[in-house]
Copies of this chain bind each other. A is one copy, B any other.
């Protein structure tokens, strides 16, 4: 199982790729994709698509985990997040990848034990699981890692339940 966790954005998208073997979990790749704000939306969407298509192919991703977005003050930002989710669903369909969706509260609960945790608490909890990971400059990476971890645990839980 190779899971890609993404915290997408038309500005910055954090991502993390985890591999689960019988005995351990390894972090294959992580980082941020920054899209140039001067480029048009179709161009940025094209870049987003190509970047993640390459990651999915390179690491033979089997699962994708996303955070369920909530409608904030800006309806247009919410809609634009939809564009990027649409691209991930398309890649999921084309590459035969299982898609997982988690509510923000669910992710915080799973990772820190507290559904109302702050971004910093999530970041600290994630880093405690991966001590070799140097504190990334942006929370986008730890957010994506938290989402990927939920995908792994959720899967594990399903395995237990199905026994």
Q: Is A102 an interface residue (CB 8 A)?
A: no
Nearest Cβ in chain B — how far from A81, in angstroms? 7
Nearest Cβ in chain B — how far from A73, in angstroms? 12
Q: Is A41 an interface residue (CB 8 A)?
A: yes
Docked complex Cα distance between A78 and B81 (Å): 11
Q: Is the interface of A mostly helix, strand, loop or mixed?
A: helix
From B43, B46, B85, A82 is in contact (CB under 8 Å) with: B85
Counted per complex, copies of this chain come to 2
How many of chain A's residues touch chain B, expressed as a range?
Answer: 20 to 34
Q: Is A110 an interface residue (CB 8 A)?
A: no
Q: Is A42 an interface residue (CB 8 A)?
A: yes
Q: Are B89 and A83 in contact (CB under 8 A)?
A: yes
Nearest Cβ in chain B — how far from A14, in angstroms? 19
Subset of 19 A-B contacts with CB under 8 Å: A42-B89, A42-B90, A42-B92, A45-B86, A45-B90, A46-B94, A71-B71, A71-B75, A71-B78, A71-B79, A78-B78, A78-B79, A79-B82, A79-B85, A82-B82, A82-B86, A83-B85, A83-B89, A90-B90
Given contacts A42-B93, A45-B89, A85-B86, 18 further A-B contacts (CB under 8 A): A42-B89, A45-B93, A46-B94, A49-B90, A71-B71, A71-B78, A71-B79, A78-B82, A79-B79, A79-B81, A80-B82, A81-B82, A82-B82, A82-B86, A83-B89, A86-B87, A87-B90, A90-B90
Which 7 pairs of residues, A with B, have the shortest CB-CB distance? A82-B82, A83-B86, A86-B86, A46-B93, A42-B93, A71-B75, A42-B89
